[in-house]
Amino acid sequence: MMRPMKLAGSQLMFGEGCLEHIKALNTKKTSIVIGGSSMVKSGILDKVKGYLSEINAESQVIEGVEPDPSFATVMRGAKEMLTFGPDLIIALGGGSVMDAAKTMWVYYEHPELDSLEAILPPNEFPKLREKALFCCIPSTAGTASEVSRSVVISDTETGIKHGVGNMEMMPDIAICDPEVTRSMPPRITAETGMDALTHALEALASTRANYLGNILATQAALDIMENLPKAFKDGNDMVAREIMLNASMTAGIAFTNVSLGIVHSMAHTLGSYFHTAHGLGDAMLLPYIIRYNTGDERAAGIYKEFAAKAGGEDLAVMVEELNKELNIPSSFKEIIPDEDKYMSILEEMAEMAKADGCTKTNPIIPTIEEFKELFIKAYKGE
């Protein structure tokens, strides 16, 4: 049975120059969450603060969100927010920053909560927006956290990643200005772009796929395959940058409503055990999983139909060719040299991937043994 769809929050802005929409927001005190120094060096942080100053809003900057943000970082940020008391929170950065800021928002609204487990099932997810609204300004074209109900946060002690998804966490405002993504280096452009392509293709094949999701996912995937190589080769190609950011956002609207598949389940797992970058893991796994999923007649038909629209015949081969063009390795042994360790934890990795929430909407639900085989194939490049 189809689930109700939610197409982003209350305000969705996209296109070059839309960053100025900040001046139309109703805020007196704004917390801005950033990662490292890229938004400082590019001048975007000063631009955001300048727009807030123009509307006489105070601003606070919470910095230092790391890749794969930890719960300790979330709690640090939430405490800084509690001291400042914002009525608006802006996440300015990539997927890690947006995920961390979203989760800070939860613990700012509910300081009585003191553990990550408190917002994990079967616990009831808390209500938000009693203190602040939430705005995302993405600096990468990939995760689509700006239109997603999900976050991934790492356990501070174990490093294990936990995915949390609830429509309460859908950002109220998304501002997608390609100028913010201009500073993305080629490697990050490639990896985040392939994350977006994976979102679109997994949404298409999802067992929850529907008419509207398919329209969004199909166009997003076509645009990414055409424009990602252009943005990768020339970061100042603002036409390609804008299309990539729009396509990433559109794929995000699709997948947050119809869910994903085992490319994400396995990438989350590899990220937990080996700290592989999420987009890189998605890119490398995608052709292997497309081939595996063709064992399902419905999925095979979807891939064939999409490949024809994209000007090819075999979608797995087309993805492999795109990966080559983006300098993305074809096997995990190229980035995880400790084969003994990898092979020794196959059972654990298979169990984690099987339990991942994305697995249940994959066209085929693998057994533990099948997951192990897939992990081996992706490692050896078979």
Maximum alpha-carbon separation in the chain = 59
Q: Which residues, including other chains, have CB under 8 Å from residue 322's CB and lie 6 or more apart?
A: 194, 197, 225, 228, 229
Q: Structurally, how many domains does the chain consist of?
A: 2
Could you tell me the two tokens for 51?
Answer: 């727009």
Residue showing tokens 């927001």: 25
Bridge partners, 164 (sequence order): 151
Supply the CATH number for residue 299's domain. 1.20.1090.10
* Whether 237 and 335 share a structural domain: yes
Shortest CA distance to 60 belongs to which of 98, 90, 24?
90
* Domain assignment of residue 62, given as a range: 11-181
Bridge partners, 152 (sequence order): 163
| 280-301 pLDDT tens trace | 999 999 999 999 999 999 999 9
Assigned domain for 96 exists: yes
- 161-165 and 173-176: which strand pairing? unpaired
| 223-238 pLDDT tens trace | 999 999 999 999 999 9
Q: Give how far Cα 86 sits from Cα of 90, 130, 295, Å.
A: 10, 11, 51
Tell me which of 130, 150, 181 is where a domain ends: 181
Supply the CATH number for residue 147's domain. 3.40.50.1970
* Whether 232 and 349 share a structural domain: yes
For the beta carbon of residue 172, count every other beta carbon within 10 angstroms: 18
Total-model pTM: 0.95
* Whether 228 and 122 share a structural domain: no
| 157-182 pLDDT tens trace | 888 888 888 999 999 999 999 999 99
Please list the rounded mean pLDDT of every run of 10 residues in the chain (382 residues). 82 96 97 95 97 98 94 97 98 96 98 94 94 97 93 86 90 97 95 98 98 98 98 97 98 95 96 93 98 98 98 98 98 97 98 96 98 98 92
* Whether 51 and 155 share a structural domain: yes
Assigned domain for 289 exists: yes
